[in-house]
Each structure stands twice: as C-alpha cells, then as structure tokens.
C-alpha cells in the first residue's frame, strides 16, 4: 500500500497547542500537509490566552522540516482561522475540530457560565470553524472534517453534564453534515478519543496516563482526513492502541397497528419485546430508521382480534420455506389412496398407478394438495405456529380447500413451498384462517397454489370482517348430468395416510374415540380425491386429466372408511359443480365444490430470456440504462463480498417505460444479479426507468419517490431499507460500463437466453437429439437408412417437459409432436435415459431390461436402432435450436 500523504493539502487543527491537537498537527505536517496550528492558549478551564502554545508547535514543525502557520484566535472566531489558511496557503482541505476545555462540576453546582463556556468552545466553536470552511469544500468538491466527541457524552460521566452535552452536540452536527456533504465529496466523521493530556490528568489514574499517548490517536484522525477514506458519518473510539467504530443498534421492537387504542398497559405488556436486543437491527440513516413506521402505515389500520386470533399479528405471516420431493411411486401410492384403479383393468385409471402405461403415466391432479399439506403438518409437528394464533388442535377443522395446478404435475419433482396467512375472517361462532401455499418446481416456476381454510371453533366474535357471504358452486336445480358411485374400502384411510397425513384420528380407534368418533374417519382430502377422480372420468377434456386446473371443496361432514361415496356432477359453462354424499347415511360430505379445466394443457415456460433493454439498443443512444446499473451492482457485489450476507434478502425490480425485470439476490452467497423474474423475492420494487436512474445517480431521493407514489414497494418493506448502497454506486463506473457495452455488437434477442449468469439446468436432450438426427440425416440419409431400415420411429419423452418427435428414416425427415407419418415403433423414455443412450453411456437393450424404456411396436427395429446410440454428436445445448425441426 502506498504511503498516505497530505502533500498540497491544507489542514486546520484547532486547539493544536497541546495534547491531541499538537500530535495531530505534527503528524499532518510530517506527511506533507500545510498546517494551521490554531490555539487560543488559555488554561484547561478556558481562562486566559497566549500565543505561546501555537508558536511552540509551529516552531517544532518547522524544525522538523514541515510547513505550518500559527493562528491565535478562539474557535468562536472560526472565520479568522480559516482566513489564515486561505491567506497563507491559498486553500483549505481539512478541518480537525479539536479545541476543548473542561469545567467539571456536579450538575447541581454547575453555574450558567460553566454550561455556556463549555458549549461555546466545543459546539459553537466547531460550528464556526466548519461553517467558514464549508463553502470552500463545496466549491472544490472535496473536504474532510473530524469532530472530537468523548466517551463522557456517549456513556455519561459524573460531573460532566455540560461537557457530555457539548460532545454529543458535535456528534449530531457531524451526522447532519455527513448527509449534506456526501454528494459533494465532503466527509464528516467523529472521534471519541482517550489520551493523556492536561484535560485528563485529573481524571485518569497515573498508570493509564502513561500508556495513553496522544500519538496513538492521531493516525485514525489522519486517516479519516485522507482522501483514501470513504467513510462518512462514522463515530470512532480510539486511544491506548484501540481503534473501533461505534454505531447505534435498535431492538426489533414492538409494532402496534394503527387505529387500535394504544394503552400504557400495551407498552407494559410489550416491554420485553421493546427492549429485546436478541432480535436487532442497525439503522444507518433516517430512512432505515423510519422503516418499521413506514411498514406499519403500509400495513393499514388494525384488523382486531381476540385471545385466540390476533389478526394484526397473524395476517400476512409467512412460514419458513419447506421443501419436498416426489416421484412416480408417491403418485401411484396416492392414486391408490384415493381409490384409483380399484378395477385394475380399467385403462383410464391404470395410467395413475402404472408408470409404464402405454398412453403415458399421469398424476392424479389432486395429488397437488399433498406436498403442501405435508409441509404444513411438518411445521405443526415442529410446533411452528404463526404469531398471534393461540388455540389447540381440538378447535381446528379443515373447512375448505382450493387447489390450482398451473400446469400438469410432472411425474417427479423437487419442490419448494411458501405458505402465508392470506385472510382471516370472523364468522361469529368461529374464525376462518386462510393459508395459501405456493409450490415452486426446481426452476423456481410456480407449479401449484393451495389455499387451506381452517375453521377455528369458538374463536370468532371480535366484530371483524366476516368475509364473502355468497355461497360458491351451488348445484343447479336440474338433476345431475352425471353420477358416480364408489365403495370406499374399509382399510382406505390406512392406505391414504401413507401419502403423508399421519394424524392418528384416521388410524387409531382410541384416539378417534377421544374426539367423539365411533371409529377412525377418512381424511377429508381423501374424499376429495375420490370425487375429483369421478369428475375427471366424466368431464376431463379429451379424457385427459392433464387439463385439470383447479378444485374447490367445502368439507361438511366426515366419512367413515367402508361407506359408499356418491358424486353428483353438473357441467356448467366454465366448471363442473359437484356434491359428494355418503349413500348409507344420505349425508352430504363435500359441497360448494367445483373443478375447472385449462383450455389447453399448459406447458412449462422456457426459462426467462435475458431482458435486453431495447431502449439502450436503439442506435446512437449512449446514456446509461438500468442494465448498466445492474452490471455496476454486479461489480459492486464482487467488491463487497459481505454485503449479501448482511442483507440476506431477494429483491425483484420491476422497471417500467421501458419494462424490464431484474433479480437482485442478496441471499445467494456473495449476491447475484440476474435479469428476469424470481419466484422467491422477499421484496418487490416497482419504479420507472427514469426514476430508477435518477435515484441511482443520487438525483432523486428514494424516500421522496416512495411517499410520492413513484416507487412502489411490496412484500418485506423493511428489506428495501437495506438497499441504500445503491446510492453509493459510482456514476462514472456506470457510464464506463455503458460505453463498453455500446462498443460490443448487440446480440440478437433470441440468442441471449443463455447469457443470464444463472447456472441453468442441463438443456433437455430431446431437442438436441432431434437436431443431431436431423443433421445426420441431411448429411447421410442413405447410411442411416442402411443401418436402421427405411422405417418410421417415434420417440416420446415422458418427463418434464414432455415432448415427442418422429424420425422417418426412409424420407430422411424429422417431425415434431406427432407430425408426420405413423410410427412402426415407439420408444418411451425419460430425457436423462435418452441422453445416456445418445451419448453412448447406456445401451438401449439394458435400458429396456431395467424398465427405463418402453418399446411399443416392432422390437426388431428397436434393436437395430441400438447401433445408432452414441454415434450422434450432441452439442452441449448452448446453441441448440429450440426444438426438433
Ligand atoms: P488539551 O487541553 O491538551 O488541548 C486542548 C487545546 O485546546 C488546548 O491547547 C487549548 O488551549 C485549546 N483551546 C481551548 N479553548 C480554545 C479555544 N476557544 N480556541 C482555540 N483553542 C482552544 O486537551 P486534549 O486532551 O488534547 O483535548 C483535545 C480534544 O479532545 C478536546 O476537544 C477534548 O474535549 C477531547 N477529548 C480528550 C480526551 C482525552 O482523553 N484527552 C477524552 C475525550 C475527548
């Protein structure tokens, strides 16, 4: 590291005739600064004056070869001190406000003069000197100020009420000046030193006095005054070899929602939370400090509650994320659990349980409730309960269930679940608590949304929102359009519970009896699975369960295994309304129920392409855009590796005019910037491109934009307070990135998919395989035809994403998704097995024997195809065409 020098810098040190000031002045001078040695030369109480103090120090500096001039003014005459700097050296760069006096006396004996004199030297003096230098700092875009505070002010000290007041006075002044000066290169910091001097000779024990050289303090003061130091607004304790920054921390505190009366008792009750520093934060500016208040205003008025349910605390609570995985085996066990394939020869239902079915294996769509309910049960088992909810399981009834599949369930998946309390209603007799669980696949794409409605007996009546009144999904008066009847086996609950719902109520007779049931009851969601299958059998478009979109049911009565379920269905315009009853008791068990279907079977979206900012791509435009800012953020993250760990949140930026989406993931180690959407944002910020750019240039204030409605923040509003580093991005760096980008030829939009720095899942093999076959056919149809024969072969990829293509070896053509002539042989397999075969790692015959490939049709052709495996050149997917030709 280079020496930190002050050549050509002009430094004013006040009170530099003795003690710390002298040490500072000599250090600055030794490092090349031109120093104004200011000292009034009075005694330690501020009485008297003399030129000697400053002259001695100036002489010492000059003797050592340095440059210095004396100033004998009191700091109360700050203009004159700064004028000395300007007259002698022509400029001013650094002000060290150090002059000080002591008038220690216990408060009750303190005179008006003791108070006033201390104030005038420390606070008024620091103000006067700094004020005189300020216009010069602003004009030259550079300045450094160091204030001198004291532990007496920070922690309090007997007999120093006046001094403590004054010392915190200069700290407050420094904080405000740090904010005002930041944009103009003027940094203002505060030190709380400890050193042996005439001020402390009466306070410090002799042993300490010897160890506390003023020279141990000056290096920190000098560093704060150097251009290499970019800290501003800091407070530092220094002395005796110890150097440390000090900051405020704040207990997480108690938030009381607005609109509810706030009583003294509420404060008493919450005292432990108000004062609990186990959960804490470090506000660094007014905006951060305002965070909880802003969030409270944002949250709107109180929604009331009672001893069981505190709506304010519970509503919106997000549970810790959970994960789960399933495969064909789990789907098949579930299918059996909801009575599928009770006739094993029924081809329709065999698809739910036999993973090698010739028409393809499909999930019973209502399996979509299982991973989510298992997540909720796992949390319940751990005892994780939302804050503000206070009731035992004996009050809880599963009232309703709504589940939406955003696309068909793949045959295996690794899932992440996020649950949040989305509504709480006061039903008088009870409370309704609606918990939404969103389930994402391994790419972060939303796959399933569940809403569980729990009815809490005896927990209503606080006069709150009763929720929607109208009854949904009421059957029309005509007779049902279809009726399905199925006996539920006596051991059905024991089979169903293998899918995860371990509640003993469904298995343990004694436990069920304790809850007033004559024997274990069937799971409500099991009944739902039966009824849903019945609806699918009659109304699934094209007899394909993958059209399933959503289900709504209300659980009205329990079912006992062994009873007969009758499902009555009505096909309405956009849904199938149904009712399920138990035949033996003529009891309605599911009502207000409906299933909807997608118009087409939804497919998994391709990963979001990198959002190129088209505005910037426009010819001739050189102004930086948000894209450049995010590149700069990426660079900033690389230089500040601890930032992400400190913030720990994921942000989604939605910019408008022009639209772009950015993910700033400060939860990932080291942090990550990526274009596009994220499913796991804690906090979403919406702002126009122009306002965003103004904000990052420091021209617009985030707080003002927020209050003015130009910046919308949703989700964890507090998290946004941690983005203050955005205003520290260097605009010239953003401009450089812009320039570099402008010099690089634009990449066509559809080729930039892989540019995102997100480690992508390996590209599916099928399209690459199809492309390789196409290429090979184009090059050498005859050789391939000789090897395989002039035949038509279909490939079906059974996993996610599903796809199929047909190769006509006779014509030398590849057709996609069922196009082209009928196939003589069809191979069904998972993408990974296709990859293994095509790259020569696995042999088709072995895959077949292990059940990984299904062969329908002429097995001999399949055998000949074996020769092709490993002979094709698959590229790595980076430049693969989007699919087979
Ligand atoms: P010091 O008494 O050795 O030096 C203070 C200097 O300020 C003296 O040379 C004095 O003549 C000068 N001064 C007083 N009133 C002035 C005025 N109106 N105009 C110009 N100069 C004036 O004391 P020390 O210990 O070096 O203190 C320096 C600063 O550090 C003071 O602000 C003090 O409050 C602060 N401080 C010192 C601590 C210590 O342990 N020495 C502890 C905490 C704070």
* Arithmetic mean of pLDDT, 626-645: 85
pLDDT for res 483:
98
- The strand ranges marked E within 194-282 are 235-239, 242-246, 250-251, 280-281
Please pick, among 72, 127, 142, 163, the residue that the annotation labels catalytic: 163
Is the Cβ–Cβ distance between 163 and 102 less than 8 Å?
Answer: yes
Ligand 1, atom 41, lies closest to the CA of 195
| Per-residue pLDDT band at 850 (split at 50, 70, 90) | low
Q: Which of 13, 25, 99 has most ligand 1 atoms within 8 Å of CB, for mutation?
A: 99
C-alpha 121/C-alpha 472 separation (Å) is 77
Is the Cβ–Cβ distance between 174 and 96 less than 8 Å?
Answer: no
Which residues line ligand 1 at a C-beta cut-off of 6 Å? 14-15, 17-21, 38-42, 44, 46, 53, 74-76, 98-101, 121, 125, 148, 150, 193-195, 197-200
Q: Which of 14, 16, 17, 20 has most ligand 1 atoms within 8 Å of CB, for mutation?
A: 20
- In DSSP notation, 431-483 reads EEEEEEEEEE-TTS-EEEEEEEEEEEET---SS------SPSSPPPSSPPSEE
Ligand 1, atom 31, lies closest to the CA of 100
Could you give the 3-state DSSP secondary structure of residue 248?
coil
* Arithmetic mean of pLDDT, 442-462: 93
Residue 421 corresponds to which tokens in the numbers above? 């309390």
Is the Cβ–Cβ distance between 531 and 553 less than 8 Å?
Answer: yes
Residue 340 corresponds to which tokens in the numbers above? 């599928």
pLDDT for res 748:
39
Q: Which of 89-103, 308-322, 359-373, 778-792 has the highest mean pLDDT?
A: 89-103
Per cent of the chain over pLDDT 70 is: 91
Question: What pLDDT, in 10s, does the model give residues 394-444?
Answer: 888 899 999 999 999 998 899 999 999 999 999 999 999 999 999 999 888
pTM attached to this predicted model: 0.54
Across 136-140, 327-331, 769-773, least confident range: 769-773
pLDDT, greater one: 619 or 336: 336
**Ligand 1 geometric centre to CA of 192 (Å):** 12
For residue 546, is pLDDT > 80? yes
pLDDT for res 872:
64
For residue 874, is pLDDT > 80? no
Contacts of 290 (CB under 8 A, 6+ apart): 703
**DSSP label at residue 521:** P
C-alpha 107/C-alpha 855 separation (Å) is 96
Question: What pLDDT, in 10s, does the model give residues 273-300?
Answer: 999 999 899 998 888 899 999 989 988 8
pLDDT for res 447:
96
CA dihedral (233, 238, 244, 247) positive or negative:
negative
Q: Which of 48-52, 108-112, 198-202 has the highest mean pLDDT?
A: 108-112
Q: At what angle do helices 161-181 and 112-119 cross, to 10 degrees?
A: 30
- In DSSP notation, 12-61 reads EETTTTSHHHHHHHHHHHHTT-EEEEE-----TTS----SHHHHHHHHHH
| Residue 770: half-sphere exposure toward Cβ, Cα within 13 Å | 26
**Ligand 1 geometric centre to CA of 370 (Å):** 72
**Ligand 1 geometric centre to CA of 184 (Å):** 29
pLDDT, greater one: 482 or 718: 482
Ligand 1, atom 32, lies closest to the CA of 100
C-alpha 369/C-alpha 374 separation (Å) is 9
Ligand 1, atom 12, lies closest to the CA of 15
**Ligand 1 geometric centre to CA of 175 (Å):** 21
Q: Is 163 a catalytic residue?
A: yes
Ligand 1, atom 10, lies closest to the CA of 15
Across 2-16, 278-292, 862-876, least confident range: 862-876
pLDDT for res 492:
97
**DSSP label at residue 310:** B
| Per-residue pLDDT band at 84 (split at 50, 70, 90) | very high
**Ligand 1 geometric centre to CA of 113 (Å):** 18
Length of the chain: 885
- Planar angle of CA 520, 524, 525, nearest 5 degrees: 125
Strand 250-251 to 280-281 pairing? antiparallel
C-alpha 519/C-alpha 563 separation (Å) is 13
**Ligand 1 geometric centre to CA of 57 (Å):** 15
* Arithmetic mean of pLDDT, 582-609: 86
User: What's the Cα-to-Cα distance from 713 to each of 29, 282, 523, rounded to whole Å?
Assistant: 51, 21, 41
| Residue 650: half-sphere exposure toward Cβ, Cα within 13 Å | 14
The dihedral region occupied by 32, where left means phi > 0, alpha psi between -120 and 50, and beta the remainder, is left
- Average pLDDT over the chain, rounded to whole? 87
pLDDT for res 648:
84
**DSSP label at residue 785:** H
C-alpha 200/C-alpha 203 separation (Å) is 5
pLDDT, greater one: 317 or 733: 317
Question: What pLDDT, in 10s, does the model give residues 64-82?
Answer: 999 999 999 999 999 999 9
pLDDT for res 117:
97
pLDDT for res 618:
40
Residue where the block lists tokens 């040490």: 23
Question: What pLDDT, in 10s, does the model give residues 782-800?
Answer: 777 777 777 888 888 877 6
Residue where the block lists tokens 């004028």: 83
């Amino acid at each position: 590291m280079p020496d930190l020098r002050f050549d050509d810098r002009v430094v004013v040190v006040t009170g530099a005739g003795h003690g710390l000031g002298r040490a500072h002045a000599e250090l600055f001078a030794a490092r090349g600064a031109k120093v104004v040695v200011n000292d009034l030369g009075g005694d330690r109480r501020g009485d008297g004056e003399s030129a000697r103090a400053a002259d001695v120090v100036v002489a010492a500096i000059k003797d050592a070869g340095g440059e210095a001039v004396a100033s004998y003014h009191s700091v109360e005459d700050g203009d004159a001190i700064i004028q000395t700097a300007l007259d002698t050296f022509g400029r001013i760069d650094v002000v060290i406000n150090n002059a000080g006096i002591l008038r220690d006396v216990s408060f009750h004996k303190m005179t008006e003069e003791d108070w006033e004199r201390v104030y005038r030297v420390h606070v008024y003096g620091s103000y006067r000197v700094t004020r005189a230098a300020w216009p010069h700092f602003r004009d030259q875009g550079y300045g450094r100020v160091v204030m001198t505070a004291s532990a007496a002010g920070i922690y309090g000290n007997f007999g120093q009420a006046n001094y403590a007041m004054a010392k915190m006075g200069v700290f407050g002044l420094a904080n405000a000046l740090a904010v005002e000066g930041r944009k103009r290169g003027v940094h203002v910091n505060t030190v709380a030193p400890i050193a042996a001097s005439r001020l402390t000779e009466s306070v410090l024990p002799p042993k300490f006095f010897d160890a506390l050289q003023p020279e141990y303090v000056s290096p920190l003061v000098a560093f704060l005054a150097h251009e290499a130091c970019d800290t501003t607004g800091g407070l530092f304790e220094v002395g005796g070899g110890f150097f440390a920054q000090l900051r405020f921390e704040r207990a997480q505190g108690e938030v009381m929602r607005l609109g509810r009366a706030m009583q003294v008792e509420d404060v008493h009750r919450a005292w432990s939370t108000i004062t609990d520093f186990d959960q804490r934060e470090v506000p660094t500016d007014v905006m951060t400090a305002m965070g909880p208040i802003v969030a409270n205003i944002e949250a709107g008025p109180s929604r009331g509650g009672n001893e069981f349910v505190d709506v304010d605390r519970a509503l919106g609570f997000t549970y810790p994320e959970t994960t789960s995985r399933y495969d064909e085996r789990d789907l098949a066990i579930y299918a059996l659990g909801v009575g599928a394939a009770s006739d094993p020869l029924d081809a329709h239902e065999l698809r739910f349980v036999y993973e090698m079915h010739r028409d393809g294996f499909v999930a019973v769509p209502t399996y979509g409730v299982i991973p989510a309910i298992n997540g909720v049960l796992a949390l319940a088992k751990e005892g994780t309960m939302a804050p503000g909810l206070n009731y035992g399981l004996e009050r809880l009834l599963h009232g309703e269930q709504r589940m939406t599949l955003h696309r068909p369930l793949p045959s295996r998946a690794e899932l992440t679940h996020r649950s949040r309390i989305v509504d709480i209603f006061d039903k008088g007799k009870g409370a309704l608590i609606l918990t939404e669980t969103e389930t994402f696949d391994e790419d972060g794409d939303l796959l399933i949304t569940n809403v569980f409605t729990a009815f809490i007996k005896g927990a209503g009546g606080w006069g709150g929102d009763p929720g929607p009144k109208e009854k949904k999904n009421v059957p029309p008066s005509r007779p049902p359009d279809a009726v399905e009847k199925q006996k539920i086996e006596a051991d059905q609950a024991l089979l169903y519970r293998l899918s995860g719902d371990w509640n003993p109520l469904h298995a343990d007779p004694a436990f069920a009896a304790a809850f007033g049931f004559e024997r274990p009851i069937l799971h409500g969601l099991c009944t739902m699975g039966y009824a849903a299958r019945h609806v699918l059998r009659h109304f699934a478009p094209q007899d394909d369960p993958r059209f399933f979109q959503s289900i709504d049911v209300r659980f009205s009565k329990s079912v006992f295994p062994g009873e007969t379920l009758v499902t009555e269905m009505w096909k309405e315009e956009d849904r199938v309304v149904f009712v399920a009853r138990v035949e033996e008791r003529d009891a309605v068990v599911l009502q207000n129920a409906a299933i909807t279907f997608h118009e087409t079977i939804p497919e998994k979206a391709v990963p979001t392409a990198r959002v190129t900012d088209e505005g910037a791509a426009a010819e001739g435009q050189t102004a930086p855009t948000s894209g450049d800012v995010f590149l700069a953020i990426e660079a900033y993250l690389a230089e500040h590796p601890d930032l992400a760990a400190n913030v720990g949140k994921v942000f989604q930026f939605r910019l408008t005019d022009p639209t772009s989406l950015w993910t700033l993931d400060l939860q990932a180690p080291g942090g990550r910037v990526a274009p596009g959407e994220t499913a796991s944002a804690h906090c979403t910020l919406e702002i126009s491109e122009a306002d965003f750019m103004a904000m990052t240039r420091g021209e617009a204030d985030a707080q003002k934009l927020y209050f003015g409605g130009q910046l919308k923040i949703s989700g964890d509003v507090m998290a946004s307070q941690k983005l203050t580093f955005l205003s520290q991005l260097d605009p010239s760096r953003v401009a450089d990135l812009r320039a570099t980008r402008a010099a690089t030829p634009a990449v066509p939009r559809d080729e930039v998919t892989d540019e995102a720095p997100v480690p992508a899942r390996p590209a599916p093999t099928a399209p690459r395989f199809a492309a390789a076959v196409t290429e090979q056919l184009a090059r050498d149809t005859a050789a391939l035809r000789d090897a395989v024969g002039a035949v038509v072969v279909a490939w079906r990829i059974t996993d996610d994403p599903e796809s199929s293509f047909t190769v006509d070896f006779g014509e030398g053509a590849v057709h996609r998704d069922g196009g082209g002539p009928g196939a003589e042989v069809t191979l069904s397999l998972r993408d990974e097995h296709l990859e293994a075969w095509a790259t020569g790692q696995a042999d088709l015959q072995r895959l077949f024997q292990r059940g990984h490939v299904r062969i329908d049709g002429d097995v001999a052709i399949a055998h000949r195809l074996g020769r092709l495996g490993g002979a094709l050149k698959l590229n790595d997917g980076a430049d693969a065409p989007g699919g087979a030709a």
